[in-house]
Amino acid sequence: MSSKKSNAPPKKKIVIVGGGIIGCTTAYYLSHHPSFRSDIDEITVLEASTTGVAQGASGKAGGLVAKWAYPRELVDVSFPEHVRLAELHNGAERWGWRYVNCGSWEGRGEDAPSLANVGSAIGDGGDKTSLEKTAGLEDSDVEQRKGKGLPDDLGWVKESLTDFYSPMAGDGDTAQVHPYLFTTSMLELAQSKGVKLLLGAIAASIEFDMENVTGVCYQSLTAPMKFIPATHAILCAGPWTPTILPSVPVKTTRVHSIVIQPQPDVQISPYVLFTKIDPPEGFGDKTASPEVYARPNNEVYVCGPGDKSSLPYFVGGVKVDDAACEAIFQQVASISSELRAGTVVKKQACFLPVVKEGKLGGPIVGPALRMAKGYYIATGHTCWGICNAPGTAKVLAELVYEGKITSAKLADLAPSKYATTL
Ligand SMILES: Cc1cc2nc3c(=O)[nH]c(=O)nc-3n(C[C@H](O)[C@H](O)[C@H](O)COP(=O)(O)OP(=O)(O)OC[C@H]3O[C@@H](n4cnc5c(N)ncnc54)[C@H](O)[C@@H]3O)c2cc1C
């Protein structure tokens, strides 16, 4: 028997709970970290859905990536990482990465003969929750040009219905990805390095002894509880995070969205519009504010406001309300004949993870030191999780492989700021 001590680094068994953009991008960064050893380390993503990853907000979001997003300390890492990932892996082809124009549009919808009671459809969006994407913009970011004039290449919104148009942020400050394709690409690239995915695996608890994480208990909808040993566990279950750790103050709101395929001969120029649409004369005074995203494959994504529907047990139980999707279509159709003539190819809903804790707005990213060594949380990314996924994942990989965050100062996002037990 040899008495020699092995010089090999200790084996890391890392379990990531949640296959949304945060979990999949974290799997990518961990498996691409210079200290990752595919012959020694094991990384497993547990995802509750039986059909695949990105079944929640990460596959159904708009996909905006902006330098003016928030919180700035995470955006400052995330935006350049998006640029780097797109260059490295041909993101333009693979996940629709491109720079995009962005503007704020205000005007009145028209009650075209082809629309069914557009006035009440606009009113439908009136008193619900806004996603608050533009909250991070400084006044100086929004050009105060307030006039009717639309940019020359924004031909798919009616100029005659426009009251104001203001470009938001500068050239090169706003980009976009297709969130489902970005998330699934991150996972595929991680899997090419040996990361494993368990679908239909609903984590129930992260277990630890006096000091360290020991593993994760999970079950499927039909099978009994199983235990997967772990040295590190990363909790990124988005809106479902409190079902595993109730002290994490993540709340949720359900948001509907649709995807419109324009007629084949219609080209939709690259604009993302934050709208305020008043109903046609005589249809009341409630305003709707759908967000409209032209995408590189010429489809158009539109999302409405949030509602108070309660979170189902797992992502497969999210209900889609047809009337909410129809209202979103009527709203954008009332300002664009190009969109009105298009076909709605997707009607969907998902839950936004929101953090509101005193003055703290999230996300919550870092070690849960008061729980156990090796326990990390990355959740509550509100309306900027697509933008902030690379920064979040990069700092988690630093924590796991280097023991501290080196690329950003994220003290304000630390779990301990959000609950005394974390
Ligand atoms: C309508 C809308 C538009 C948006 N637009 C943008 C945008 O333009 N730009 C932007 O940056 N952000 C946007 N966002 C925000 C962004 O989508 C979210 O912040 C982000 O997707 C959150 O990712 P996540 O991985 O934390 O959560 P999720 O995408 O919800 O993923 C969590 C995953 O965990 C799984 N899970 C949950 N519980 C368990 C469990 N117990 N065991 C195993 N797995 C579990 C779920 O099934 C799910 O797959 C938008 C959000 C919405 C709703």
Q: 338 in helix, strand or coil?
A: helix
Cβ–ligand 1 distance for 96 under 6 Å, the answer no
Comparing 164-168, 232-236, 244-248, the range with the smallest average pLDDT is 164-168
Ligand 1 mean position to 422 CA, how many Å? 22
Q: 1 Cβ partners below 8 Å, 6+ apart?
A: none
Nearest CA, atom 20, ligand 1: 385
Our answer on whether the CB atom of 392 is closer than 6 Å to any ligand 1 atom is: no
| Ligand 1, pocket-test mutation among 383, 384, 388, 396, most atoms within 8 A of CB | 383
Q: Once rounded to an integer, what is the mean pLDDT over residues 222-239?
A: 95
pLDDT in the model for residue 223: 83
Report the separation in Å between the CA atom of 114 and the middle of ligand 1, taken as the mean of its atom positions.
35
Q: Decide whether any atom of ligand 1 lies within 6 Å of the 48 Cβ.
A: yes
Count how many Cα atoms sit within 13 Å of the Cα of residue 413 in the half-sphere of its side chain. Answer: 26
Res. 10 pLDDT band, cuts 50 70 90: confident
Domains of the chain listed by start with CATH number: 13-93+178-250+357-417 (3.50.50.60), 99-175+251-349 (3.30.9.10)
Position 63 pLDDT exceeds 90? yes
For the stretch 367-414, pLDDT in tens is 998 999 999 999 999 999 999 999 999 999 999 999 999 999 999 999
Residue 216 CB–ligand 1 contact under 6 Å: no
For ligand 1, say whether the CB of 277 is within 6 Å of any of its atoms.
no
- Backbone CA torsion sign across 159, 133, 387, 60: negative
The Cα 69–Cα 76 span in angstroms is 9
25 pocket-lining for ligand 1 (C-beta < 6 Å): no
pLDDT, averaged across the chain: 92
